[in-house]
């Protein structure tokens, strides 16, 4: 019976990512995987990370938007930097368009004094867009003289996209501050132009690390991290601000999210479990569109595995591992 529930959940998880329908994608801020925000988190703290997540967003018009992603990053001793790989699939917009992409990223930390490090990064990803297969199949079977073709046109392939990426992260004892930039080059295949393309966008992310004191001694029974994330593009300004608290076995957080471009405002939260090196996080929230006077909701399901860095010093085996910020 337990295996039956696991198999059913796995099938449902992937079925949603492949078949849900959505409105024009307006940007989804990842809740748990920082690598999707900035490639400088590749090999962060020299650990190895594996993340899989599904994000969804129901707009006030009762349309859906979703993205499924898998990322893997690790530390390379030979290159003295972090390496990362990303696979991403989703369904964007009322134009019935699926996307599929993959990317590679590299980060290189530089120590800046005793209390911080600067981590620049570069990356390159490729994405293809095509008409949602079921909608394309229906359009091919109906009589064109009686019914109009569903957007975005008759062609199945839509466009090919190459996206170079750069990132910069300041990591210290007290904070993480990062800025990343993405630029896309498009090769269109359809007769109609993709009207919702945002070739350039920036992501700013900041986390304040706070520690506590107990009877004069530094103690961190609970790690509290206020966060701010802002996405800026030509047709999009999206922000999320809040805080996250982590205990030994679980975490939770509360956030306010605002889409300034479409005047949509919402609140959300995250709750997760820490099972040794395994992480399982659930995020959900509601939003309200002032122009449409309707409500919607958004969320994310995320599972991750963190493999700690093993420090080996042949000259001094008893030396402690390098300081982690």
What pLDDT does 198 receive?
Answer: 64
| CATH code for the part of the protein at 2-274+284-300 | 2.40.160
What pLDDT does 267 receive?
Answer: 94
- pLDDT, tens digit, for every residue of 10-64? 333 333 333 333 232 445 788 889 999 999 999 999 999 999 999 888 776 656 7
Q: What is the DSSP letter of 319?
A: S
Within 8 A by CB and 6+ apart from 222, the residues are 212, 245, 246, 247
Is residue 239 within 8 A of residue 221, CB to CB? The reply is no
Locate tokens 């010093």: which residue?
313
> Tokens standing for 220?
């961190």
What pLDDT does 14 receive?
Answer: 39
What is the spatial distance between Cα 30 and Cα 51, in angstroms, rounded to a whole number? Answer: 11
What is the spatial distance between Cα 169 and Cα 38, in angstroms, rounded to a whole number? Answer: 8
Locate tokens 């605002």: which residue?
258
What pLDDT does 8 receive?
Answer: 41
Over its C-alpha atoms, the chain yields an Rg (Å, rounded) of 21
Q: What are the b/e assignments for 122-132, b being 16+ CB within 10 Å?
A: ebebebbbbbb
What pLDDT does 75 receive?
Answer: 95
| pLDDT tens for the 325 residues of the chain, in order | 444 433 444 333 333 333 333 232 445 788 889 999 999 999 999 999 999 999 888 776 656 777 889 999 999 999 999 999 999 887 765 566 777 899 999 999 998 777 789 999 999 999 887 766 555 555 556 655 555 565 555 665 567 889 999 999 999 988 999 999 999 888 777 666 555 556 788 999 999 987 655 555 555 567 788 999 999 988 889 999 999 988 878 899 999 999 998 899 999 999 999 988 999 999 999 989 888 888 888 899 999 999 998 766 666 665 555 555 5
What is the spatial distance between Cα 318 and Cα 232, in angstroms, rounded to a whole number? Answer: 48
Distances (CA, A) of 140 to 149, 153, 158: 9, 11, 16
- List the one residue out of 55, 78, 58 whose CA is nearest residue 281: 55
Reduce the DSSP state of residue 139 to 3 states and report it.
helix
- List the one residue out of 214, 220, 222, 219 whose CA is nearest residue 244: 222
Q: Domain spans of the chain?
A: 2-274+284-300
Locate tokens 């949602």: which residue?
132
Reduce the DSSP state of residue 45 to 3 states and report it.
helix
What pLDDT does 2 receive?
Answer: 42
- pLDDT, tens digit, for every residue of 91-109? 765 566 777 899 999 999 9
Locate tokens 């690790």: which residue?
74
Q: What's the pTM value of the predicted model, to 2 decimals?
A: 0.80
What pLDDT does 236 receive?
Answer: 84
The count of other CB atoms within 10 Å of the CB of residue 257 is 20
What pLDDT does 20 receive?
Answer: 34
What is the spatial distance between Cα 180 and Cα 169, in angstroms, rounded to a whole number? Answer: 8
């Amino acid at each position: 019976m337990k295996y039956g529930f696991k198999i059913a959940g796995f099938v449902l998880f992937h079925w949603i990512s492949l078949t849900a329908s959505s409105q024009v994608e307006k940007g989804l801020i990842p809740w748990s995987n920082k690598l999707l925000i900035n490639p400088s988190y590749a090999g962060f703290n020299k650990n190895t990370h594996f993340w899989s997540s599904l994000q969804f967003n129901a707009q006030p018009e009762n349309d859906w938007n979703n993205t499924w992603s898998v990322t893997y990053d690790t530390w390379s001793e030979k290159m003295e930097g972090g390496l990362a790989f990303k696979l991403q699939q989703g369904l964007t917009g009322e134009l019935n368009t699926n996307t599929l992409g993959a990317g590679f990223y590299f980060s290189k930390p530089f120590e800046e004094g005793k209390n911080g490090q600067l981590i620049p990064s570069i990356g390159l990803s490729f994405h293809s867009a095509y008409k949602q297969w079921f909608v394309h199949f229906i359009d091919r079977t109906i009589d064109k003289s009686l019914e109009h073709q569903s957007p975005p046109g008759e062609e199945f392939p839509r466009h090919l996209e190459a996206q170079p990426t750069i990132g910069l992260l300041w990591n210290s004892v007290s904070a993480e501050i990062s800025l990343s930039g993405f630029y896309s080059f498009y090769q269109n295949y359809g007769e109609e132009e993709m009207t919702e393309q945002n070739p350039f966008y920036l992501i700013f992310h900041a986390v304040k690390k706070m520690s506590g004191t107990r009877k004069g001694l530094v103690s961190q029974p609970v790690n509290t991290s206020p966060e701010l994330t802002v996405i800026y593009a030509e047709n999009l300004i999206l922000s999320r601000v809040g805080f996250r608290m982590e205990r030994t076995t679980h975490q939770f957080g509360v956030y306010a999210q605002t889409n300034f471009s479409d005047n949509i405002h919402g609140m959300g939260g995250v709750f997760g479990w820490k099972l040794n090196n395994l992480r399982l996080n659930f995020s959900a929230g509601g939003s309200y569109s002032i122009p449409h006077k309707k409500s919607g909701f958004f969320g994310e399901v995320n599972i991750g595995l963190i493999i700690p860095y093993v420090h080996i010093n042949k000259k001094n085996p008893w030396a402690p591992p390098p300081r982690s910020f």
